[in-house]
Amino acid sequence: MSEEISEIKPDPHGSFVSPGTLYLVATPIGNLADITQRAISVLGQVDIIAAEDTRHSQRLLSFLGIRSKLLAYHEHNEERMTAKLLAELAAGKSIALISDAGTPLISDPGYRLVTQGHDNEIDIVPVPGVCAAITALSAAGLATDAFTFEGFPPAKQGARLHFFEPLAQQQRTMIFYVSCHKIIDTLKDMQEVFGSDRRVTFARELTKTFETIKRMRLSDLISWVEGDKNQRKGEIVLVVEGAEAAAEDTAQIDYYLSTLLAELPVKQSVKLVVKLTGENKNDVYKRALELKDD
């Protein structure tokens, strides 16, 4: 027991890292002040930091005065490095996985390491912090009770249109990461599939000096981005309004609810309708109360 405790390294904040543990550490997406005290503590204590781009991450670590061993872990060496890092963990080393910015694995490498870590009964510890998708969603002014993260749309137009088409009737808010070089083409493809009136929140350079957050109809947003070349630079997140429920879908839900409410309590009726239709529980519950009052 004493030998095990001696391998755990304390830090000035009174926290510890444990041997043989993989830490998933969120880093700032722009403003360096957004890093958490816990992240600083863990990064300063672990034996190895696995980073997507070591040159990029070295600047952050130097700013924080951290000198932990840095290894590259990216999409091109993921298979080879996963085996190496798992071996280090099995030998008792503590490892922090970081991406270039934000929370690891959100459109970044790391899935292979984490899933195989679970397979090998490695302790996986998230150290939460900033995530561009959630940051954009929180400021989007669109529904947040149900949403999907769709990542990066394909680079080529044909594949991109095919990617968007199944999402046209998606009623949940959708979050996309978009390359600044593809932003106008992507917005035009969205307009073709989703329609000109769909509302989109354009979030660029979040937490940075030139942060921009605008909510517009797609047609207006395209004109605005085309007219300002500065909006075609930096990191971009698009938060897209979900489709309105079709009239026939609403009628069917009302039919189910009316039939069930005649025999069952509201809570049980809502549970059954959600199971039958896959609709949002809060929306069905609200409608059930309206029908019950009527």
The parent domain of residue 285 ranges over 247-293
Residues 90 and 152 in one domain: no
The answer, yes or no, to whether residue 141 has pLDDT greater than 60, is yes
How much is the pLDDT for 244?
Answer: 86
Last residue of a domain, one of 195, 220, 240: 240
pLDDT tens per residue, range 169-198: 899 999 999 999 999 999 999 999 999 999
Q: What are the helix (H) ranges across 195-227?
A: 218-226
Residues 160 and 231 in one domain: yes
How far, rounded to the nearest angstrom, does the alpha carbon of residue 22 sit from its chain's CA centroid?
Answer: 20
- The sign one gets for the Cα dihedral 196, 200, 205, 208 is positive
Residues 26 and 124 in one domain: yes
Residues 21 and 98 in one domain: yes
Average pLDDT (145-157) is 96
Buried residues in 153-180 as b, exposed as e (16+ CB within 10 A):
beeeeeebeebbeebeebbbbbbbbbee
Instruction: State the average pLDDT for the chain.
Output: 92
Nearest 10 degrees: Cα torsion 63, 65, 71, 73: -40
Last residue of a domain, one of 82, 102, 130: 130
Number of folded domains in the chain? 3
Q: Name the CA radius of gyration of the chain, rounded.
A: 23
Asked if residue 236 lies in contact with residue 107, where contact means CB atoms within 8 angstroms, the answer is no
pLDDT tens per residue, range 46-65: 999 999 999 999 999 999 99
Last residue of a domain, one of 97, 130, 163: 130
Q: What is the pTM of this model?
A: 0.79
How much is the pLDDT for 12?
Answer: 45
279 beta partners: none
Residue 209 maps to which CATH number? 3.30.950.10
Count other Cβ atoms within 10 Å, centred on residue 263. 8
Residue 29 maps to which CATH number? 3.40.1010.10
Which of 176, 180, 177, 184 is CA-nearest to residue 210? 180
Average pLDDT (285-292) is 90
As a whole number of angstroms, the distance between CA 230 and CA 285 comes to 44
Residues 173 and 96 in one domain: no
